[in-house]
Structure 1
């Protein structure tokens, strides 16, 4: 491969190091070639620290750069749709941080832009590209008829002025850790192979804990599928439940528990009990962010131009449904 894939970064977000800069350093045919931020001085400091060659004066200038092939968008959630569409219209491929948008309607608009411009648009659920995700899916299929799925992601974020608590920027626990748990719940349900679990579940209870009006710091969600299978989601950025990062699936033949399915490169394990036989295992693989960037570049270099955002739309639709069931407005709509 003679030419490196030149990626430009919108903003100087902390996640950019893990989501782009570090994995790009491990992939020979990828280069983080440029950056732009609202504050040019901050962009320059970020570029100096991470050895990014070009700093553009604003986002538009970055998108107009003819030497940039793709854009990484780690901006606040409320800006994902606007700037991803602008990047696509500028002829760039886009890797957009999760959640890909503020609501499902925005994802549909983004998909339309990707199709009309024949560019790759991919949501950055990095854990899905680590071998652990495939292994979890394999094991779920061995559990018999699925009875219950329980996923949770909880950690303390005491800085209440953080943008993740800003409604106007698409904040809330369900938009942050909840994007992961909704995605993981749907992955495990789909992996069962049961027809009923391929459909969206009904949210039977959504109980938020609010930091301020319309901004959830925690959310407990109970769900049910048409076949009677039940689900539980626990999301928290600030509550008495300080730490949780796990998934549990119970079926007619046994159960599976997974510790840290989201960042398995740090540490994880799978505990399995099927037909009375207990086992425990780990899955080797590169860092999930590296796996993700490899997949993004593969799609570009393979000539794929039909971005299928069916999964992204389904995930945002579930998040929308959770907020509606909790009596809260969707993100991306006027704060009421």
Structure 2
């Protein structure tokens, strides 16, 4: 599979392009960037000065889009209409309407689409699912993802580019709770600390309730020390998944899954290494090569876009509880 990389973003250089190179059946075929120095460090033979030039290359099968969040939608649409399969960084869009437009275009073009939540392909989450029945019915879910952003000029503080803690790291928590674990909220409340000052949230706390009255909550922040985990509390015990989103940058490079009984005693601990970025590329390849429709991934992205939108609506109304309805394609 020949990949086109749309922009020389750090995440492309540090993680995704190396993962493509580790795949036995993919290669980074082309890069689009106007910056010569950035192009040289990628060591990709075919370099285009424009995104349109790359999309016109018929040798390219699939594209990876790591542009700022607010630019995802337009580039995904252009890529799909150029007959390319698309892997786009999370969050795929910053509104439900944008995601509905993408879903409609995917159906129109027949191309494959995937939102880049690479963490979900790590083997630690398979272990979590294996152990999940042991804790009984889920009562509560808790998640946290934070890191310290010190650069005041960082694009993640730019509201016009889709900045904010919820879009940057909170979407991982939202995805894990609602898609990986399968908690479906009917109401969402979010409180954010800096929306009124800099129009992006540096820290947000989100609470959700499902139709059975079960609860889930998470904290996301760009002004706290690095920490990532989720916990699932059941009637018979609890599961903790430590280093759940970026196990690759933990001290030993492993994700940790722990099982506790109802008394809080540790019953099992599993330290698991995996290559989550490569697993994402392999999953994408397999889906494309098998010509499997991406209805499931589209529905996940539609739901996530809606949940994120409702969370921000709540935050702008000082945590007002927002009702969540079913999500359908446009």
TM-score, length of structure 2 as denominator length: 0.89
Task: Provide, for residues 155-201 of structure 1, a one-character-per-residue CA deviation record: whole Å limited to 9, x for no partner.
Answer: 100112111111111111010101101001114542xxxxxx4x324
Give the secondary structure class of the aligned counterpart of 1:222: strand
From 228, 233, 237, the equivalent of 1:250 is 233
Task: Provide, for residues 196-219 of structure 1, a one-character-per-residue CA deviation record: whole Å limited to 9, x for no partner.
Answer: x4x32412x311011633210110
* Aligned residue number for residue 13 of structure 1: 9
Matching of residue 36 in structure 1 with residue 19 in structure 2: no
CA-atom RMSD in angstroms: 1.9
Task: Measure, in 2, the Cα distance between the counterparts of 1:305 and 1:98.
Answer: 20
From 60, 64, 70, the equivalent of 2:56 is 64
Task: Provide, for residues 205-246 of structure 1, a one-character-per-residue CA deviation record: whole Å limited to 9, x for no partner.
Answer: 3110116332101101122222221111100002xx423211
Matching of residue 321 in structure 1 with residue 317 in structure 2: no
Matching of residue 263 in structure 1 with residue 252 in structure 2: no
From 233, 236, 240, the equivalent of 2:221 is 236
Give the secondary structure class of the aligned counterpart of 1:255: strand
From 100, 112, 116, the equivalent of 1:124 is 116
* Aligned residue number for residue 83 of structure 1: 75
Task: Measure, in 2, the Cα distance between the counterparts of 1:15 and 1:183.
Answer: 19
- 5+ residue gaps, structure 1: 191-196, 330-336
From 275, 279, 287, the equivalent of 2:267 is 279
- 5+ residue gaps, structure 2: 319-330
Task: Provide, for residues 275-330 of structure 1, a one-character-per-residue CA deviation record: whole Å limited to 9, x for no partner.
Answer: 5563333354531000000011111111224444001111111111110111179x
Instruction: Give the paired residue count.
Output: 311
* Aligned residue number for residue 190 of structure 2: 206
Deviates more, 1:153-162 or 1:45-54: 45-54
Task: Measure, in 2, the Cα distance between the counterparts of 1:141 and 1:159.
Answer: 43
* Aligned residue number for residue 217 of structure 1: 202
TM-score, length of structure 1 as denominator length: 0.87
Contact 2:39 2:47 in 1 (8 A): yes
Give the secondary structure class of the aligned counterpart of 1:242: strand
Instruction: Give how far 1:35 is off.
Output: 0.8
Alpha-carbon spacing, 1:104–1:298, altered in 2? closer, same or farther (3 Å):
same
Task: Measure, in 2, the Cα distance between the counterparts of 1:159 and 1:260.
Answer: 24
